[in-house]
Amino acid sequence: MAPSNPLRLPMGNRLRRLSSMTATERDIKEGGPVVIVPERMMAQRSQSHHGSFAASLETARNELVAIDLEEEAILSPISSSPETPGSPITPVDVPTTDAFAFAFDIDGVLVRGGRPIPEAVEAMKVLKGKNEYGVKVPYIFLTNGGGKTEAERCIDLSRQLDIEISPAQFICGHTPMREMVERYETVLVVGGEGEKCRQVAEGYGFRDVITPGDIIKDNEATTPFRKLTAEERANSRKRDYGKTRIEAIFVFADSRDWAGDIQIILDLAMSKGGYIGTLSKTFEEGPPIYFSHNDIVWSAAHGNVRLGMGALRKIVEMLFNDLTKGKELETIAFGKPQIGTFEFATRLLQQWRKDEHRINRPPETVYFVGDTPESDIRGTNQFNERSKNEWYSLLVRTGVFQEGTQPAYTPRITVDTVLDAVKHGMKREFSKKMKGVTDGIPANSLALKHSSLNGDPAVGTKTPILEVSESSSEVGTPPLCSRSSV
Ligand SMILES: [Mg+2]
């Protein structure tokens, strides 16, 4: 079966809403865009859709858009939906801004050690409309993490933060690896829990996926101190790996067995054409090696940062150089800070705003909130240099970055938490919109608050909506990865 191209985002289908408590990966894959919704919100939503004029209007609009999304350019965005005069702002009838959006890193920003950072839950409520400006703000997630399918990460995050999340809002470190399925027949997939990454790779469309466990099962002498558990032995697939050509190595997620995985990666890197057990004379015949990101450290439950995939990459390259007496190993990394990852994020955000919010133009500003200067801040700043709309970097103090140190890449602003980041971005937007407003208009005008953010030129000075660069609408042309060598 031909795999779907990940860079072609779902279009024209109505979003299905599934409960975070009962949704399964199978439900999510059944077809069309999906939103994972906390159970209590499923109940609230169904109640709110009875008796609310604005909600009825939204439902009707959704029906219309489901018939032909391509005609949406002539429809008013939700943001301009009329409100019942004098009615209080509720999550159902809060308009959505089309002027700006947020993108979030996850580990160290929203979640740490599997637990939500407390301010993150409140920050999500603010974006959903619980704010003094009375608007909702679209957002996406861009993590270098992985080891699970996008659908599973989405269910996890929905439960942790108690919010609706769709896989269509989500980019994992390994998401761009989907593009490689046509290029390689037999691949080694490294990292993650148990069989998880094999399943993710097969889900992407890779046809023949081998794991380090398979190779150890075939020849236990491969890793002298690593013995397979009974479960690993049962799951691992026996075959004669000396006769199997491995065409590429993909490190999908953090290794759970550095010694064994490094041994097998180096065995292949030094092999004759990807045949395990052989040794090349030139050390130039090994398969290409891809890493889903290059973060040296990351923010986990421990008080200090922990070693990440970028550290494994460095060690593999360094050992190859040492063992081959000076040969360089060129490996490839995806994820932030690569420009291609941010271009992919731009397309994802555009599609998400279109599908979920009926907004058919790019935001003027995207606020990117991260905790790692080397990937989050570096990537955002570099992308801002070339993107026609503004990418604004915000560094938080809840993760990798430690107060008192100088970040390797300077953010536009450093704040304590993701909640402060969201508040800063919203305040900055309203300051921008306030600029140029005559003194005769009250600063606290609700009309200004709503209409100016949603592009009504009648109030305030409208900043021209900037177009996203031409290249970002093309699929696969920009480099999604970086090469490195020792
Ligand atoms: Mg992080």
The per-residue pLDDT for range 89-125, each reduced to its tens digit, is 445 578 999 999 999 999 999 999 889 999 999 999 9
Report the separation in Å between the CA atom of 408 and the middle of ligand 1, taken as the mean of its atom positions: 15
Residue 168: per-residue pLDDT: 87
Residue 437: per-residue pLDDT: 60
Contact between residue 327 and residue 279 where contact means Cβ atoms under 8 Å apart = no
Report the separation in Å between the CA atom of 376 and the middle of ligand 1, taken as the mean of its atom positions: 8
Q: How would you classify residue 455: left for phi > 0, otherwise alpha for psi between -120 and 50, otherwise beta?
A: left
| Dihedral pair phi/psi, residue 79, rounded to 5° | -60, -20
Task: Output b/e per residue, 282-320; b: 16+ Cβ within 10 A.
Answer: ebebbbbbbbbbbbbbbbbeeeebebbbbbbbbebbebb
Report the separation in Å between the CA atom of 108 and the middle of ligand 1, taken as the mean of its atom positions: 5
Residues of the chain short of pLDDT 70, as ranges, are: 1-15, 29, 31-33, 39-92, 436-486
What's the rounded Cα separation, in Å, for the pair 411 and 391? 11
Contact between residue 288 and residue 278 where contact means Cβ atoms under 8 Å apart = no
What's the rounded Cα separation, in Å, for the pair 62 and 54? 12
Report the separation in Å between the CA atom of 149 and the middle of ligand 1, taken as the mean of its atom positions: 18
Residues forming a β-bridge with 414: 395
Report the separation in Å between the CA atom of 465 and the middle of ligand 1, taken as the mean of its atom positions: 30
Sign of the C-alpha dihedral, residues 50, 96, 21, 422? negative
What's the rounded Cα separation, in Å, for the pair 367 and 370? 10
Report the separation in Å between the CA atom of 348 and the middle of ligand 1, taken as the mean of its atom positions: 19
Structure tokens at 322: 């040492």
Residue 40: per-residue pLDDT: 60
Report the separation in Å between the CA atom of 152 and the middle of ligand 1, taken as the mean of its atom positions: 18
Report the separation in Å between the CA atom of 372 and the middle of ligand 1, taken as the mean of its atom positions: 6
Structure tokens at 190: 């490294």
Residue 464: per-residue pLDDT: 30
What's the rounded Cα separation, in Å, for the pair 293 and 191? 12
Structure tokens at 240: 């004669």
What's the rounded Cα separation, in Å, for the pair 5 and 204? 9
Residue 34: per-residue pLDDT: 74
Residue 107: per-residue pLDDT: 94
Report the separation in Å between the CA atom of 266 and the middle of ligand 1, taken as the mean of its atom positions: 28
What's the rounded Cα separation, in Å, for the pair 317 and 258? 14
Report the separation in Å between the CA atom of 396 and the middle of ligand 1, taken as the mean of its atom positions: 10
Report the separation in Å between the CA atom of 299 and the middle of ligand 1, taken as the mean of its atom positions: 6
Q: Which domains does the chain have, with CATH numbers?
A: 16-173+339-473 (3.40.50.1000), 176-291+294-332 (3.40.50.1000)
What global pTM score does this model have? 0.71
What's the rounded Cα separation, in Å, for the pair 10 and 352? 9
Residue 146: per-residue pLDDT: 84
Report the separation in Å between the CA atom of 311 and the middle of ligand 1, taken as the mean of its atom positions: 15
Contact between residue 40 and residue 48 where contact means Cβ atoms under 8 Å apart = no
**Other residues' Cβ atoms within 10 Å of the Cβ of residue 109:** 29
Report the separation in Å between the CA atom of 297 and the middle of ligand 1, taken as the mean of its atom positions: 9
**Side chain identity at residue 264, one-letter code:** I
Report the separation in Å between the CA atom of 485 and the middle of ligand 1, taken as the mean of its atom positions: 25
Residue 265: per-residue pLDDT: 98
DSSP 16: E
Residue 321: per-residue pLDDT: 98
